[in-house]
A and B are shown apart, each in its own frame.
Chain A
Amino acid sequence: MSEKVIKRENASEESAAMRPAVNVVEDATGITLYADLPGVPKEKLSIHVEGDNLILEGELEINSPPNMEAIHAEVDLSRYRRVFGLSRELDGNKVSAGFRHGVLELRIPKAEHAQPRRIVVQAT
Chain B
Amino acid sequence: MHYRGIFPRDLFAELERLQRDFDGSPSIRGAAPGYPAMNVGTTPKSVEVYAFAPGMTPEEFDVQVENGVLTISGERKDIVAPEGATIHIGEHFSGRFRRVVSLPDDIEPNSTTASYRDGVLHVCVARREAAQSRRISVQ
Contacts and interface: CB of A to CB of B under 8 A. Distances in A.
Contacts of A19: 12, 16
A40 B118 contact: yes
Nearest to B7: A85
Given A24-B88, A26-B6, 9 more contacts: A21-B93, A22-B91, A23-B89, A39-B50, A40-B118, A40-B119, A64-B48, A72-B40, A85-B10
A71 B120 CA distance: 18
A19 to B, nearest CB: 7
Contact of B38 (A37, A72, A85): A72
Contacts of B46: 65
Given A65-B46, A85-B7, A21 B92 contact: yes
Given A38-B119, A64-B48, A102-B55, A25 B43 contact: no
B99 to A, nearest CB: 10
A62 B89 CA distance: 28
Interface in B47-97: 48, 50, 52-57, 79, 81-82, 84-93
29 contacts: A21-B93, A22-B92, A23-B89, A23-B91, A24-B88, A24-B89, A27-B85, A34-B92, A38-B36, A39-B118, A61-B118, A62-B39, A62-B50, A62-B120, A64-B50, A65-B41, A65-B48, A69-B43, A70-B41, A71-B40, A71-B41, A72-B40, A73-B40, A74-B38, A75-B52, A83-B10, A101-B118, A101-B119, A102-B120
Given A21-B93, A74-B38, A75-B37, A26 B88 contact: yes
Among B16, B79, B93, B116, residue most surrounded by chain A Cβ atoms (within 10 Å): B79
B41 A69 contact: yes
Contacts, number: 122
A114 to B, nearest CB: 15
Interface of B: 6-7, 9-10, 12, 16, 33, 36-44, 46, 48, 50, 52-57, 79, 81-82, 84-93, 116, 118-120
Contacts of A72: 38-41
The 8 closest A-B pairs by CB, nearest first: A102-B119, A102-B54, A38-B119, A21-B91, A38-B52, A74-B37, A27-B85, A24-B89
A67 B132 CA distance: 13
Contacts of B41: 64-65, 68-72
Contacts of B50: 39, 62, 64, 75
A83 B38 CA distance: 25
